[in-house]
């Protein structure tokens, strides 16, 4: 499958005139030409090379430097994680879901589970908003979430570790990072209850009442105004009662003051979340320890 220059310009943000100028000046990209009407069409590999150039330019390289680097480092010569990522994007760009699944299958077979999550799936989730139009973003997101959900469901619970409830708050539908967190925690022996996307406060209250978890972890991706965030988090804290609440995600970073003032905590990773839980448990144990003498 090939794409026309108009589609490439829309997907990459690089104007048609700019692509033609690059072709004249640098011999890049190198589209195929239709025998009938001489229209430019771009192969899957050429499309991804254009994306790589655009990314390098956004990181500060000049056009000539970016093109020279991409020409000097073909896709096959990239580090393993980058190679899988570029092949995945290449398949998604032409809406080839089967090819994208094959890339994910191959990567999974060659990586440890946590490397697969942290080194490939999560970076893909973070990048897709910058790389893709809406149709392609939906395809890529669905494939990655499906893969993370399968990983989460495949792991058998190990022992009677702490219970954690995972959720995205109301009106937050991006659960990819939450699923990856669940995979990490489950592999460390935690008992994971996944409530998933768009979870209202009353559902959190019900889960806390029935399960009595040691911790509730929430992933905020959607951007919110300060007033909305404060009102939402106040409702969540009330719903969770005495259960420790830890929040994370790009939608929470700009609201740290409100998070801490309302009694919640903030973590960037599974390791940070576990450290916060261990710290709270240690403090609680010291509080409950009998006083001698």
* HSE-up (13 A, CA, CB side) for residue 146: 11
Task: For 217-256, give one letter per residue: b (16+ CB within 10 A) or e.
Answer: bbbbbbebeeeebbebbebbbebbeebbbbbbbebbeebe
Look at residues 73, 51, 66, 56 and name the one whose alpha carbon lies nearest to residue 136.
51
Each residue's pLDDT tens digit, 276-288: 999 988 865 655 5
Distances (CA, A) of 114 to 11, 128, 269: 31, 20, 12
Task: Say if pTM beats, i.e. exceeds, 0.75.
Answer: no
- Helix (H/G/I), strand (E/B), else coil: 276: helix
Give me the percent of the chain exceeding a pLDDT of 90: 53
Distances (CA, A) of 216 to 159, 178, 194: 19, 12, 10
Under 8 Å CB-to-CB from 46, ≥6 apart: which residues? 29, 30, 31
Distance between CA atoms of residues 204 and 209, nearest Å: 8
Least trusted range by pLDDT, from 62-76, 192-206, 249-263: 62-76
Structure tokens at 54: 């655009």
Place of tokens 């939906």: 138
Each residue's pLDDT tens digit, 2-58: 778 888 787 777 888 999 999 999 888 888 776 666 678 887 778 778 888 888 888
**Percentages of the chain per state (helix, strand, coil), in multiples of 5:** 60, 10, 25
Distance between CA atoms of residues 110 and 105, nearest Å: 9
Look at residues 19, 26, 86, 20 and name the one whose alpha carbon lies nearest to residue 52.
86
Instruction: Kindly indicate the confidence band of residue 293, based on its pLDDT and cuts at 50, 70 and 90.
Output: very low
By the 8 A CB rule, do 190 and 163 touch? yes
By the 8 A CB rule, do 236 and 201 touch? yes
Number of CB atoms found within 10 A of residue 183's CB: 25
Each residue's pLDDT tens digit, 226-245: 999 999 999 999 999 999 99
Least trusted range by pLDDT, from 73-87, 107-121, 141-155, 171-185: 73-87
């Amino acid at each position: 499958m090939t794409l026309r220059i108009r589609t490439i310009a829309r997907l990459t943000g690089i104007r048609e005139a700019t692509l033609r100028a690059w072709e004249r000046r640098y011999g890049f990209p190198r589209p195929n030409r239709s025998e009938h009407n001489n229209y430019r069409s771009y192969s899957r590999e050429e499309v991804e090379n254009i994306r790589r150039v655009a990314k390098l330019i956004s990181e500060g390289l000049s056009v000539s430097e970016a093109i020279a680097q991409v020409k000097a480092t073909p896709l096959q010569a990239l580090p393993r994680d980058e190679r899988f990522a570029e092949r995945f994007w290449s398949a998604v760009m032409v809406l080839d879901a089967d090819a994208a699944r094959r890339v994910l299958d191959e990567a999974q077979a060659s990586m440890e589970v946590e490397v697969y999550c942290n080194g490939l799936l999560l970076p893909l989730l973070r990048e897709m908003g910058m790389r893709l139009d809406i149709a392609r973003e939906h395809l890529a997101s669905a494939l990655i979430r499906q893969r993370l959900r399968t990983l989460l469901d495949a792991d058998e619970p190990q022992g009677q570790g702490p219970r954690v409830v995972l959720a995205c708050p109301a009106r937050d539908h991006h659960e990819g990072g939450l699923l990856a967190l669940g995979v990490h925690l489950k592999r460390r022996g935690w008992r994971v209850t996944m409530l998933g996307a768009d979870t209202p406060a009353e559902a959190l209250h019900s889960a806390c009442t029935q399960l009595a978890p040691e911790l509730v972890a929430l992933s905020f991706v959607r951007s919110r105004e300060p007033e909305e965030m404060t009102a939402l988090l106040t409702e969540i804290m009330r719903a969770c009662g005495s259960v420790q609440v830890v929040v994370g995600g790009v939608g929470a970073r700009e609201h740290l003051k409100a998070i801490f003032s309302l009694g919640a905590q903030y973590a960037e990773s599974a390791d940070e979340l576990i450290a916060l839980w261990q710290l709270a448990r240690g403090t609680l144990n010291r509080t409950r320890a009998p006083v001698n003498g």
